[in-house]
């Protein structure tokens, strides 16, 4: 009898309750409540106006989404806007209207859909990533829910603005103690001569007096301009390449020259410089040039990759365990598109690679998003979906389907066979482009 009771107790304890399941998936149970107008309470009584500038902090249960519950006590027009605290962060926003007490339960089990674009005033597209200001007619005694979904748990936080007539309530919701990246420079953007620390953008800039070196002035006091090197980049068919990266190095001092403007550099007569140029889909280019004239033009001709050669697309990013592309991938996709437009005879294979072959489960926090967010299956199947996503982008932008093959290899072709760190594992997660026909 004792054993039976023990077994029953174990079974009951092992079954998660509905409340445990919902809380464990960061639902809307703990929504931040806001009453409109801002000087009323939830029961309609007048009170002191809400403090219009508030700061809140994400808790662990909010790591996937932060919820606002707006209780309306008077008919009117409401406007709201979401903005990331850090410009590199991305959020998706969903709005619901529902007055019953079982709202969170219905949303969690996907029995309640968010409002459609027609709900808002003006021409609003059905795009949850559109963070522009939205307006809607709020009706008395209605309850509106706004979900700010984290597309990455590394987001720093967001600002929520709710505008009612002449009052604006701002909530600063802090997710992680991130420091805003004011400037991001790669090595090629920094001159070796530069030793001064970059000034904080919040500090008023003091413009120093312009000093003219003696060696730049002729005896007749007329300013002598230094020579200019202009680089023009095209392929061997003379088609202009706009996304090339150029580095100019002083061969004597080995210092990198900072450009005046795109592909234009101030140089010195009689000196020898090395020109390095790279562009997506093309072989690396390098040559030396000696400055002899006041204006010097370097014609850079790039040769496309040949059949059998490949390139790793280093700036293609997907959200973890999904085949949803991050917006930061757009630049790399545009480079790939231009390469195929400039080379109409080239056929390619888009390869998807993962770090190992394992099963991937759905993330319930993304249950209200599209199918690309709700993948479940093997890592190899996910790599296939990712390759097909890029293929679809190219076809949508005019590249014929017969020129593109999409294939997922999963973890069968790792760069690091036995990764020991997260960084090594990330190297295996990639998209590669292989030239099939040139």
Please report, to the nearest 10 degrees, the dihedral formed by the alpha carbons of residues 388, 394, 400, 403 taken in order: -60
Alpha carbons 426 and 229: distance in angstroms, whole number: 39
Quick one: three-class SS letters along 120-183?
Answer: CCCCCCCCCCCCCCEEEEECCCCEEEEEEEECCCCCCEEEEEEEECCEEEEEEEECCCCCCCCC
Q: Which residues are within 8 A (CB) of 413 and not within 5 positions of it... i.e. 6 or more apart?
A: 351, 353
Alpha carbons 137 and 143: distance in angstroms, whole number: 12
Alpha carbons 327 and 349: distance in angstroms, whole number: 22
**Predicted pLDDT of residue 146:** 95
Threshold 0.95, pTM exceeds: no
**Predicted pLDDT of residue 17:** 37
Higher pLDDT, 128 or 48: 128
Query: Any idea which fold 310-437 has?
Result: 60s Ribosomal Protein L30; Chain: A; (3.30.1330)
Alpha carbons 390 and 397: distance in angstroms, whole number: 11
Tens of pLDDT, residues 358-390: 898 888 888 888 899 999 999 999 999 999 999
Q: What does the domain layout of the chain look like in residue ranges? A: 10-174, 207-302, 310-437
Buried b (16+ CB within 10 A) or exposed e, 14-29: eeeeeeeebeeebbbe
Cβ atoms of 242 and 262 within 8 Å: the answer is no
Question: What is the phi/psi pair of residue 107, to 5°?
Answer: -65, -45
**Residue 217 DSSP symbol:** B
Alpha carbons 246 and 125: distance in angstroms, whole number: 39
pLDDT higher than threshold 70 for residue 217: no
Choose among 390, 405, 401, 389: nearest CA to 335.
390
The CA-based angle 46-50-54, given to 5 degrees, is 165
Alpha carbons 432 and 438: distance in angstroms, whole number: 17
Q: Which residues pair with 351 in a beta bridge?
A: 407, 432
Is 10-174 a CATH 2.60.120.380 domain? Answer: yes
Copy the structure tokens of residue 426: 């990330």
Could you identify the residue written with the tokens 């309530």? 169
**Residue 283 DSSP symbol:** -
Tens of pLDDT, residues 131-154: 999 999 999 999 999 999 887 767
pLDDT band for position 10 (50/70/90)? very low
Cβ atoms of 435 and 310 within 8 Å: the answer is yes
Cβ atoms of 348 and 319 within 8 Å: the answer is no
Cβ atoms of 430 and 353 within 8 Å: the answer is yes
Tens of pLDDT, residues 108-131: 777 888 999 999 998 888 888 889
pLDDT higher than threshold 90 for residue 436: yes
Q: Which residues pair with 430 in a beta bridge?
A: 353
Q: What is the mean pLDDT of residues 97-112?
A: 86
pLDDT higher than threshold 50 for residue 183: no
User: What is the CATH number assigned to the segment(s) 207-302?
Assistant: 2.60.40.1120
**Predicted pLDDT of residue 187:** 29
Choose among 358, 360, 300, 310: nearest CA to 336.
310
Choose among 154, 147, 116, 111: nearest CA to 28.
147
Tens of pLDDT, residues 353-366: 998 888 988 888 88
Cβ atoms of 64 and 362 within 8 Å: the answer is no
Of 43-47, 207-211, 229-233, the range with the highest mean pLDDT is: 229-233
Reduced to 3 states, what is the DSSP secondary structure of residue 414? coil
**Predicted pLDDT of residue 115:** 92
Q: How many CB atoms lie within 10 A of CB 208?
A: 6
């Amino acid at each position: 009898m004792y054993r039976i009771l023990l077994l029953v107790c174990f079974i009951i304890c092992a079954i998660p309750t509905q409340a445990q399941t919902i809380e464990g998936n960061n639902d809307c149970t703990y929504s931040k409540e806001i009453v409109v107008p801002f000087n009323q309470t939830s029961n309609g009584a007048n009170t002191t106006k809400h403090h219009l500038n508030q700061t809140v902090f994400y808790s662990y249960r909010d790591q996937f989404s932060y919820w606002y519950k707006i209780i309306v006590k008077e008919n009117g027009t409401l406007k709201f806007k979401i903005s990331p605290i850090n410009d590199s962060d991305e959020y998706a926003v969903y709005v619901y209207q529902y007055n019953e007490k079982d709202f969170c339960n219905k949303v969690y089990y996907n029995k309640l859909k968010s409002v459609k674009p027609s709900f808002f005033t003006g021409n609003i597209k059905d795009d949850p990533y559109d963070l522009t200001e939205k307006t809607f007619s709020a009706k008395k005694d209605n309850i509106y829910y706004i979900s700010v979904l984290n597309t990455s748990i590394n987001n720093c936080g967001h600002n929520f603005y709710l505008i009612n007539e002449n009052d604006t309530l701002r909530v600063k919701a802090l997710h992680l103690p991130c420091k805003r990246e004011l400037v991001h420079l790669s090595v090629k953007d920094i001159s070796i001569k530069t030793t001064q620390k970059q000034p904080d953008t919040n500090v008023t800039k003091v413009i120093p007096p312009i000093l003219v070196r003696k060696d730049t002035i002729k005896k007749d006091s007329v300013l002598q301009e230094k020579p200019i090197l202009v680089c023009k980049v095209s392929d061997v068919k003379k088609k202009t390449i706009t996304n090339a990266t150029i580095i100019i190095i002083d061969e004597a001092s080995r210092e990198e020259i900072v450009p005046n403007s795109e592909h234009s550099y101030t140089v010195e007569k009689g000196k020898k410089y090395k020109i390095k140029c790279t562009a997506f889909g093309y072989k690396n280019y390098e040559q030396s040039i000696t400055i002899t004239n006041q204006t010097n033009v370097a014609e850079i001709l790039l040769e496309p990759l040949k059949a059998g050669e490949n390139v790793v697309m280093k700036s293609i990013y997907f959200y973890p365990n999904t085949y949803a592309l991050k917006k930061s991938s757009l630049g790399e996709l545009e480079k790939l598109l231009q390469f195929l437009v400039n080379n109409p005879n080239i056929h390619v294979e888009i390869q998807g690679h993962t770090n190992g072959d394992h099963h991937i489960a759905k993330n319930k926090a993304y249950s209200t998003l599209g199918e690309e967010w709700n993948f479940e299956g093997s890592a190899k199947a996910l790599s296939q979906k990712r390759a097909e996503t890029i293929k679809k982008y190219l076809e949508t932008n005019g590249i014929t389907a017969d020129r593109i093959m999409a294939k997922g290899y999963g973890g069968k072709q790792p760069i690091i066979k036995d990764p020991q760190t997260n960084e090594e594992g990330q190297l295996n997660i990639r998209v590669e482009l292989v030239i099939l026909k040139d």
